[in-house]
Amino acid sequence: MKSLRDAIRPTTFLQPEALSERLGINLTIATETFQRTGSFKFRAAYNTALNADSSHLLTASSGNFGQALALACKLLGKRCHVVMPETSAQVKIDAVRSHGAEVVLIDVSKIGREERVDQLVSEFPEAYRASAYDDDHVIEGNSTLGDEIAARSDFEAVVVPVGGGGLISGISKGLCRAGHRAELIGAEPLLGNDAARSLAAGELVRNEEEPKTIADGARTVSLGKKNWEIVRNGVSRIVEVPEERIKKAVLRYFLDVNLKVEPTGALSLGALFDIAPAIKGRKVCCVVSGGNVDPAIYAGILQESV
Amino acid sequence: MKSLRDAIRPTTFLQPEALSERLGINLTIATETFQRTGSFKFRAAYNTALNADSSHLLTASSGNFGQALALACKLLGKRCHVVMPETSAQVKIDAVRSHGAEVVLIDVSKIGREERVDQLVSEFPEAYRASAYDDDHVIEGNSTLGDEIAARSDFEAVVVPVGGGGLISGISKGLCRAGHRAELIGAEPLLGNDAARSLAAGELVRNEEEPKTIADGARTVSLGKKNWEIVRNGVSRIVEVPEERIKKAVLRYFLDVNLKVEPTGALSLGALFDIAPAIKGRKVCCVVSGGNVDPAIYAGILQESV
């Protein structure tokens, strides 16, 4: 059995000159698009499957976590059920199945994801219920990316996509552990701005329903409780990114960096379009959470620009 | 003034699990999509601009070499003229200009690229005429990628896109210098199969005109003379890749590797679709030469698949 650090791939750091010049900052990209299963979620999923006290895992996921947990369970010889909205990107559904996990599709207007997992828990009481973000194993798994960022350079700011808060809380943990003093900035869709509202209110605020943002990895109702406890202390601000700016960031990565990024992964660059003038000249690490996007959606974003 | 090794970025090595499984080989990708200016050509161009005995460089290029030479000249404080077919990808023309070089557009049905450079040589007799491939400085610059591949692992085969032969001859030089014993395999468009015909004939064979392949970096009439001398001795075979297979490779990189690749850069994977069964289980390095592609062309390739 492999340790977490043996199982994951190191992140890929890029120094995009044209984009740095355009933004007026000293930019480094930490991209998880080449992580196993194409997103940072493999860090979380492998650590969860490794440490879960069961040989069967159940989870709800908008896609990347499910795919990552499916591969992690395959590598560790465990059974895996993944509840997914039927509106998930087809490539993500296919990928989960390709790793041998059982996919349970739901209509989110009729039943909540967690409600459907509740049903599975009744059916398989011995199984481990894995959260895509609100779980110490997840946060610990993602903290390895914080370790890598801390070891890379003395960044003044680190900008991170935010859905349920699993990634940013993990990075916060890794940076703190290393005594790294970067300002940690979150980037979430304006359509689902619960994290920004939570930080403003000083308490965990929820969206009324899953936001219909193109950033399908951030279609979460709220931060997880464990994530919120870290975010409230470790994150200086959350930038709310409008849909048009998410798409513009996906396109900019294509044009200036040769980097294929999924909309959720482009949130952090979308935030930088907004805040770069305020942090001019600073040394910034922009985290790309993943690259898995349906070709039709991606082609649509490219063509809006033509 | 920086040395070549300080100026270039190391290549990015990826271990694509899904693609390895699909092909049945132990695959490593060496991608130059994140090299400065988005292709391997920067290695060649910087070394040329660094060693040229003039402060003014002239060249003809279908795009990537021009862009790379433009940046190299900017970094080294030299003047630069680039002759480009008016059918070049717009992003490539724009990129050359963005680095301060002067672009001379031509209609290749009316005047040859080299003929137009001849005119510029008459106009600027003190300038250095830089070839995108047929130049010792170019081959030496590209040999640094061979060094990196040799240092990475004991590959049994290395597959490389072929246009004018600058990259494969450089890699051959680097691998030989390191005593690396990989079989070196070229991949060129079937529509412009002069290198395969040259290897079969044992002498340098030319296409009658520039091939109209989607792989715009391989729209060359023949290998360069210096490149041919290295290819004839160092390359075991050249695989001819049909247009459909080039596009399929671009799509496969998108779906399985999250890697944005330009059609020319996808030639080597296109070749592997053909020869993988014959090298089953082998340890193979697949070189991606660059990632610069017009969004409309790229979107078109993705949409053919939908």
pLDDT digits (tens, 9 = 90+) for B239-283: 999 999 999 999 999 999 999 999 999 999 999 999 999 999 999
ipTM confidence: 0.94
Specify the CATH class of B4-40+135-304 in words.
alpha beta
Work out the pLDDT band at B63, boundaries 50, 70, 90.
confident
In the set B62, B88, B131, B172, the catalytic residue is B62
Per-residue pLDDT tens digits for A281-292: 999 999 999 999
**B218 has pLDDT over 60:** yes
Work out the pLDDT band at A1, boundaries 50, 70, 90.
low
Determine, for residues A299 and B296 on separate chains, whether the beta-carbon distance falls below 8 Å: no
- Residue in B12, B257, B302 nearest the CB of A298: B302
- Share of residues in chain B with pLDDT > 90 (%): 88
Per-residue pLDDT tens digits for A43-75: 999 999 999 999 999 998 878 999 999 999 999
Residues of A in contact with B298 (CB under 8 A): 254, 299, 302
Q: Which has the minimum average pLDDT: A81-95, A123-137, A253-267, B284-298?
A: A81-95
| Residue A62 annotated to the active site | yes
- Residue in A91, A296, A306 nearest the CB of B296: A306
**A298 has pLDDT over 60:** yes
Work out the pLDDT band at B112, boundaries 50, 70, 90.
confident
B50 and B299 in contact (C-beta within 8 Å)?
A: no
Mutation choice for B interface testing from A14, A39, A258 by most B CBs within 10 A: A258
**A9 has pLDDT over 70:** yes
The span from the CA of B190 to the CA of B213, in Å, is 8
- Share of residues in chain B with pLDDT > 70 (%): 99
**A188, A247, A218, A262: which is closest to A38 by C-alpha?**
A262
What mean pLDDT comes out for the span B93-100? 90
**B115 has pLDDT over 60:** yes
CATH number of B41-129: 3.40.50.1100
Determine, for residues A251 and B295 on separate chains, whether the beta-carbon distance falls below 8 Å: yes
Q: Where in chain B is the domain with CATH 3.40.50.1100?
A: 4-40+135-304, 41-129
The span from the CA of A151 to the CA of B248, in Å, is 38
**A254, A286, A146, A167: which is closest to A217 by C-alpha?**
A167
**B69 has pLDDT over 80:** yes
Q: What is the CA radius of gyration of chain B?
A: 18
| Residue B62 annotated to the active site | yes
What does each C-alpha distance from B116 to A253, B48, B122 come to in angstroms?
Answer: 35, 20, 10
In the set A62, A88, A143, A169, the catalytic residue is A62
The span from the CA of A158 to the CA of A287, in Å, is 7
Mutation choice for A interface testing from B258, B294, B303, B306 by most A CBs within 10 A: B258
Q: What is the pLDDT of residue B306?
A: 53
Per-residue pLDDT tens digits for B178-206: 999 999 999 999 999 999 999 999 999 99
Q: What is the pLDDT of residue B1?
A: 60
- Share of residues in chain A with pLDDT > 90 (%): 88
The span from the CA of A40 to the CA of A42, in Å, is 5
Which comes out higher in pLDDT, residue B94 or A188?
A188
Q: Which residues of chain B have a Cβ shorter than 8 Å from any chain A Cβ? A: 9, 12, 14-15, 17-18, 33-34, 36, 38, 91, 98, 251, 254-255, 257-260, 290-292, 295-296, 298-300, 302-303, 305-306
**B132 has pLDDT over 60:** yes
Quote the minimal CA–CA distance from A228 to chain B in Å.
31
**A306 has pLDDT over 60:** no
**B168 has pLDDT over 80:** yes
**B106 has pLDDT over 90:** yes
